[in-house]
Each structure stands twice: as C-alpha cells, then as structure tokens.
Amino acid sequence: MRILIIEDEVSLSKMLSDGLKDSDYQNDVVQNLADARYFLGIRNYDLILLDWMLPDGNGIDLINEIKQISRKTAVIVLSARDDKESEIEALRAGADDYIKKPFDFEILVVRIEAKLRFGDSNIIEIENLIINPEEEKIIYNNEEIELKGKPFEVLTHLAIHKDQIVSKEQLLDAIWEEPELVTPNVIEVAINQIRQKMDKPLNITTIETVRRRGYRFCFPKKA
Ligand code: CA
C-alpha cells in the first residue's frame, strides 16, 4: 500500500510518514500542490492524506484531479477547520473522509485501514490456502510455506487484488520504497521465487502472467 502525504506542517508530516512506515505503508511526503501533482503523475497511490491549507492553494481543489487519475484512490482531508460547513464542503468535493486537527495518530491509522478495507480481517483464506500478511505467513494444507520478504508482499498484493490485472509498475509503487531506483526486473525475480518456492513444490498455480499487462492472482486455477 502506498500513501501520499500532502502536508506543509513539517513536524506533522514527519510524524505521519514515520508512523505510517512503522505500520508498513510506503509513503511519500510533499508540502505543496505542485509537488503533489508531480508525484501523482509518476506513482500510484492507494490513499492520499490531504491538508486543506497549503502554500500554493487549497488541498480540496486537488481532489477532483486525484479522482480523475484513479477513482479508487481514497482521499482523507486533514484540516484545522473544525466547523461543520468545511467538513461538508470537503466531503462534497469528493473526499472520502475528513479528520479535524489535532487528531490522534491511532485513530488516523484505523480510519486509513477502514478506507483501504485492510483492517483486522486482512487474513486471506482461499480454500486450503491461508495468507496472513500481519505475521508474514502462508499456510497450505496446514503446512507453513517458506516465502518471505518481497515475494511474500507481491503475492499478498496480488491476492488482495484478485480478479484484477496488476501491472509491474503498480506492484513496484505498492511494495518498493523507491520504485524508480529498482528495475522492473525485481518483480520477475519475486514472481519466479513464488513459483519456485511455492507453486512448484505444491503443484498449484497462484499467479498468472498476462502478457504486456502484468500479473493476476488465479488460485485456485480451474483446470
Ligand atoms: Ca497547512
């Protein structure tokens, strides 16, 4: 999962960034709309934390652009405005949630999880295959499979987005801290490890390659 933090209050954005990293969310921080537009143009985001008042304009004016790039990207507005009218204005502008400053960080994380539908029910269970992202554990027919690190994260991301084709670029953005600094080749390496360490010994197929488009989680594969 990747989050863009658009917040000009440096101490707050640092606290958010560090806290979200501890909760395993990749994130980028920008302090103004211009930089936000730049990042929105090069990376894919699952969620945006958007401050209202920024040095070069109003955060809520960006919501429309965010939703045009990706309708599925959730937007949570963070604002010092605590009046009812502002909250209504933000939600009407397309925000998915509105959090008044100052806020409790734990509450924010829970709201993020709710938006990403990635809360306590994040254990993926498909027939005899169980993927537990929190414990980085895969169980198949009651036996644990040794698959950790990036291959595990790639498998989990694809399983969460099953029925969808996920591009290499989307996988890089979601899982690698600085996606531009690695070659897309790392995805192939991770997929290969999933196939070698898991699919092959278990004689199953979990991920299929969709030519030129990316990968799709396909377990259980119909014969
Ligand atoms: Ca501000």
Model confidence pLDDT, tens digit, residues 115-153:
887 544 578 889 999 999 888 999 999 999 999 999 999
Instruction: Quote the ligand 1 centre to 76 CA distance (angstroms).
Output: 14
Check if CATH label 3.40.50.2300 holds for domain 2-118.
yes
* Residue corresponding to tokens 């990036």: 150
pLDDT score recorded for residue 121 = 57
- The answer to whether the predicted template modeling score (pTM) of the entire model surpasses 0.85 is no
Q: Quick: pLDDT tens for 31-89.
A: 999 999 999 999 999 999 999 999 999 999 999 999 999 888 999 999 999 999 999 99
Which tens digits make up the pLDDT trace of 162-209?
A: 889 999 999 999 999 999 999 989 999 999 999 999 999 999 999 999
Per residue in 112-123, pLDDT tens?
988 887 544 578
Helix 168-175 and helix 149-160, axial crossing angle in degrees, nearest 10: 120
Distance 87 CA to ligand 1 centre (A): 16
Distance 17 CA to ligand 1 centre (A): 16
Ligand 1 centroid to residue 79 C-alpha, Å = 8
Query: Which residue in the block uniquely carries the two structure tokens 């990968």?
Result: 215
Q: Which CATH number fits domain 124-217: 3.40.50.300, 3.40.47.10, 1.10.10.10, 3.30.70.870?
A: 1.10.10.10
Centre of ligand 1 from the C-alpha of residue 216, in Å = 40
Residue 57 Cα to ligand 1 midpoint, Å, equals: 10
What spacing in Å lies between the alpha carbon of 15 and ligand 1's midpoint? Answer: 15
Residues 6+ apart with CB under 8 A from 161: 217
Q: What is the pLDDT of residue 72?
A: 84
Pairing of strands 137-140, 129-132: antiparallel
Domains in the chain: boundaries: 2-118, 124-217
